[in-house]
Amino acid sequence: MNFLWRVALFEYRRNVFKKSFILLLISVPTFITFSIGLGVFLESSEVNPLPVGYVDEAGVFASVLTAPEIASTWNAENDEGIAFIAYLSEDEATAALNDGVIQAYYLLPQDYFETRRVEQIYIEKPGKNAARQFYDFMQLNLLSSQPPEFALRAATGTDVLVRSIDGKRVVSSDGPTFGLLMPLFMTMGFLFMILMSSGYALSAVADEKEIRTMEVLVTSISPARLITGKILGITAIGLTLLFTWTLEILAGIAVSRQLGVSWFMDLSMDWRIILATLAVGIPAYALTIALMTAIGAMVTTTQEGQSVSSIFFILHLAPLYISFIFINDPHGSLGVILSLSPFTALMTIGMRNLFTIVPPWQIFVSVGVQIVCALGTFWLAGRSLRLGMLRYGQRLTWRGLLGRLDRA
């Protein structure tokens, strides 16, 4: 058992302390930081706090409602309220615009009630918050003769709820929250981790075979323990990636909340789905890594194994291309079959949880199937190493691996 942990520690150290691994750890937070920074920049560029002027030639604002009376309408938009300044003529408004006092002004001509035409005059394009708030400003003042609660309700607008077919998922008109999409993000994280770790798994045995050190290793440890140790080491590499990325993402979310990025304000999530995603993702990762290690023991070079391993990664992504089926019928037979099958279960369950709640029995069955397959693949990896040594320098086929060649 001591040799097994030594192999695992050696496999972990020789990959973790490479420059490429350090760059891999940095690449994800760099991408996330860039994405969040770009989003903050684009959002801030749409907001201009300068006042907005208006020239009312039609008498729409006979009794103007003040800013505090309409503040609740723009709070819903997460905008800070801007001031509206009335001007008696276009000349006054134009002078204020040229002096930088206002960002734009609106002209309501005398025939406004017949044409409903409003002109917006500006030098530089105003922020989107100006148009939204002036639209609310006009609505409330046009309805000033009505009871305040009626006017406010009309200006607030509709609140559309998107409900799944089975009624188990409800999304507001603002779109899905970060918490709702969290299981899908976790699924993509597992897939990215599988993609990164598969290269280490393929080279775990193929490198020793290429440099001809395999014979020395098997004199001190059995093939089964050697394979198990390497798989444990690679699994530890994947967990290091997952743990580091999680900390970096949490730090990014904390910074985004401090900056006021609205999408990260609602972090409420269903922890049952989070745990279900972890329960499916961990054995799916172990199954894939064990299979990649077995392929590495079968082939003669690492490059040869990479061409074969891409097939299994494509299987993980296959449900993404038929996601429209899960939207129309999240509990259909195809979705259930893919949820219970190895390789496709991770992505299928992650996407189905966006539109419904996957029944617990399907989660348990999926986890059980993948654990059994992972244990079988561990045995298969040890067998491929043992048989591959008998055919040193030759590629071991799947038919030969599953046959009874161990009698030779």
What does the pLDDT read at residue 240? 84
Q: How many Å is the Cα radius of gyration of the chain?
A: 31
Among 225, 202, 228, which Cα is nearest to 378's? Answer: 228
| Mean pLDDT, rounded, for 95-116 | 89
Give whole-number Cα distances, 85 to 80, 102, 211, in Å.
Answer: 16, 8, 79
- The span from the CA of 285 to the CA of 293, in Å, is 12
| Mean pLDDT, rounded, for 225-230 | 77
Percent pLDDT > 70 in the chain is 68
Domain with CATH 3.40.190 in the chain: 52-157
CA 196 to the chain's CA centroid: 17
For the stretch 144-196, pLDDT in tens is 777 767 766 766 666 676 666 666 666 666 666 777 778 888 888 888 888 77
pTM of this prediction?
A: 0.66
Highest mean pLDDT among 17-21, 90-94, 205-209, 250-254: 90-94
Give whole-number Cα distances, 50 to 83, 97, 129, 372, in Å.
Answer: 8, 11, 10, 64
Among 57, 53, 79, 59, which Cα is nearest to 144's? Answer: 59
- The span from the CA of 209 to the CA of 198, in Å, is 17
What does the pLDDT read at residue 366? 92
Are the beta carbons of 52 and 85 closer than 8 angstroms? yes
Looking at residue 126, what DSSP letter applies?
A: P
Beta-strand relationship, 84-87 and 52-56: parallel
- The span from the CA of 103 to the CA of 257, in Å, is 28
pLDDT > 60? residue 309: yes
Looking at residue 395, what DSSP letter applies?
A: P
Q: Per mean pLDDT, which range of 76-90, 164-178, 372-386 is the poorest? A: 164-178
| Mean pLDDT, rounded, for 341-347 | 88
Q: Phi first, then psi: what are they for 70, rounded to 5°? A: -115, 10
Among 174, 186, 210, which Cα is nearest to 296's? Answer: 210
For 147, the token pair is 């009871």
Average pLDDT, the chain: 75
What does the pLDDT read at residue 209? 62
What does the pLDDT read at residue 320? 83
Give whole-number Cα distances, 408 to 28, 110, 130, 226, 404, in Å.
Answer: 49, 100, 82, 22, 8
pLDDT > 80? residue 99: yes
Percent pLDDT > 90 in the chain is 4
**More confident of the two residues 166 and 377:** 377
Residue with tokens 């992504």: 317
CA 299 to the chain's CA centroid: 35
Q: Assign a CATH topology to domain 52-157.
A: D-Maltodextrin-Binding Protein; domain 2 (3.40.190)
- SS3 sequence of 241-269: HHHHHHHHHHHHHHHHHHHCCHHHCCCCC
Residue with tokens 């609740």: 72
pLDDT > 50? residue 303: yes
**pLDDT band for position 106 (cuts 50, 70, 90):** very high
Helix (H) or strand (E) holding 162: strand 161-163
For the stretch 387-402, pLDDT in tens is 665 555 555 555 555 5
